[in-house]
Amino acid sequence: MTALNNDIFIRALLKQPVDRTPVWMMRQAGRYLPEYRKLREQAGSFLNLCTNPELACEATMQPLRRFDFDAAILFSDILTIPDAMGLGLYFTEGEGPRFKYPVKTAADIKKLPIPDPDIDLRYVVDAVRLIRKTLQGSVPLIGFSGSPWTLATYMVEGGSSKSFQKVKGLMYEQPKLLHAMLDKLAQSVAAYLNAQIEAGAQAVMLFDTWGGMLTSEDYIEFSLYYAKQIKALLKTDVDGQQIPTILFTKGGGLWLEAMTDAGYDALGLDWQTDLQKARARVGDQVALQGNMDPVALYAQPEIISEKVKTVLQKYGSGSGHVFNLGHGILPDINPDHVKAMVDAVHKYSPAYHQ
Ligand code: CP3
């Protein structure tokens, strides 16, 4: 396959020298882009975009035409796995994702299948292949999955939640049952990520969006344990090229030392976590990705530029930092403000790599 023209994202994740800090953005393809809104309207729905490889490829490419990002991320969703398990994913305007058949009983858990990605999630594997071809080596492609715990929250709650009563109820009252479900999810996620890697994903990221809702001991037992299992099952390289891995736990700032032991090459940080202290805590063990406050993108470009400088300064000199937001971009951000962020990373980061 084509060699990469720009590999600074991969290099930074592996803590190899780079001449500036790489930058990309969680949810970089999405509603803040007018061309995305148009594409979604043509497609009829978000899920149509995800399940049609040509449209998913187009959505992936859109932000790269506007901004000098150093990585592309597969356009898809974390809820493809539960959908492939038969839960019937749908989206309602304003309410977010929902499942027709949420997991309610022990029998529901017992009958959950482990999807075969090449059959049941074929549209994702095909999208990865097509995107990789379309990128022509310009920047690396990131594949991703939700973490078992985060997927379980949606599967048991039936959609988004604030207090996570149902899934935590299951955790407190029938922990073995939840473990049985998480175990199936871990096997499914590992197979799914390996299929993405085989199809051409050059790095993979595990989104543990709701790990931070757990107590410290429950985080270790119900979330991190499975992230670690998945990492151990992942393909580590393709054609001699290492496939770096990123673990992002929103609200995980308290547990960085434990997360470091899970074996990922990099940890994603949310905006509440102090990047300077985080670096001191993890030492040379992992790279760090993040962590500008997504809400800072509402500010004027001059202020955004200052906020970028602060993040760069917090990480300090040397490789091992990937610039990103601390969570996904919000849908009503002005795209010009994203350009201000990317330009500032390009302008101010070389000083940290001399
Ligand atoms: O980062 C990227 O650009 C890649 C694409 C991506 C999407 N979802 C596209 C999307 C990724 C990596 C995700 C992951 C995802 N999906 C997560 C974990 C990441 C995180 O934010 O921590 C979660 C929790 C989901 C589930 C999900 N999908 C939610 C909560 C929503 C929002 C619903 C809403 O109406 O706001 C989605 C929909 C979704 N996923 C959109 C996009 C671009 C918006 C769809 C649209 O309305 O066009």
Residue range 182-191, pLDDT digits in tens? 999 999 999 9
Helices 122-135 & 53-66 angle (0-180, nearest 10): 40
Q: Residues 225-265: pLDDT tens digits?
A: 999 999 999 999 999 999 999 999 999 999 999 999 999 99
pLDDT band for position 1 (cuts 50, 70, 90): low
Measured between alpha carbons, how far is 252 from 273 in angstroms, rounded to an integer? 8
**Whole-structure pTM value:** 0.97
> Is 66 a pocket residue for ligand 1 (Cβ < 6 Å)?
no
Of 27, 36, 153, 327, best ligand 1 pocket probe by most atoms within 8 Å of the beta carbon: 27
Q: What is the CATH code of the structural domain delimited by 8-353?
A: 3.20.20.210
39: Cβ below 6 Å to ligand 1? no
Q: Hey, whose CA ends up nearest to atom 43 of ligand 1? A: 30
Each residue's pLDDT tens digit, 154-176: 999 999 999 999 999 999 999 99
Confidence band for 2, pLDDT divided at 50, 70 and 90: low
Residue 73 Cβ < 6 Å to ligand 1: yes
Type of residue found at 14: L
As beta bridge partners, residue 322 has 289
Q: Determine the pLDDT at residue 3.
A: 82
Active site residue 31: yes
61-79 pLDDT, tens digit per residue, is 999 999 999 999 999 999 9
Q: 7, 11, 20, 27: which is the annotated catalytic residue?
A: 27
pLDDT tens digits along 192-227: 999 999 999 999 999 999 999 999 999 999 999 999
Q: How far apart are alpha carbons 85 and 87 in whole angstroms?
A: 6
Q: What is the pLDDT of residues 291-323, one digit of tens each?
A: 999 999 999 999 999 999 999 999 999 999 999
> What order do you get walking across the sheet with 72-73 strand by strand?
72-73, 141-146, 203-208, 245-249, 266-268, 287-292, 321-325
Tell me the CA–centroid distance for residue 151 and ligand 1, in Å: 13
Of the residues 31, 66, 122, 281, which is catalytic? 31
Mean model confidence pLDDT for the chain? 97
Please write the tens of the pLDDT for every residue from 45-60: 999 999 999 999 999 9
